[in-house]
Amino acid sequence: MTNDDSEPRVPVVCPECETTSRIELSELADSIARHNEQLHDGEQVAEVDPEVADELANLVADELGLLDDA
Ligand SMILES: [Zn+2]
């Protein structure tokens, strides 16, 4: 647990490695790509936990101001 909430962290699951990692949002795409490249020959194995994917979409939309309907 940490109180550092300056950067949202997103759970990434890899069913083959049976791991879950919490990755900073700004590192998310790179981290997933690197993992899949190094461990799974570039296959899309590791991915954002589907349970939070919706939440993440909202979060990103919010950060980009897409929910600002002005
Ligand atoms: Zn993996």
Give residue limits of the domains in the chain.
9-64
Run means of pLDDT, 10 residues per run, the chain, 70 residues = 71 96 92 97 94 80 72
CA of 56 to the centre of ligand 1 (A): 21
CA of 2 to the centre of ligand 1 (A): 25
CA of 35 to the centre of ligand 1 (A): 6
CA of 53 to the centre of ligand 1 (A): 18
Distances, alpha carbon 50 to alpha carbons 2, 47, 57, 70, in Å: 23, 8, 11, 30
Distances, alpha carbon 9 to alpha carbons 2, 4, 49, 69, 70, in Å: 11, 10, 12, 26, 28
pTM of the model: 0.69
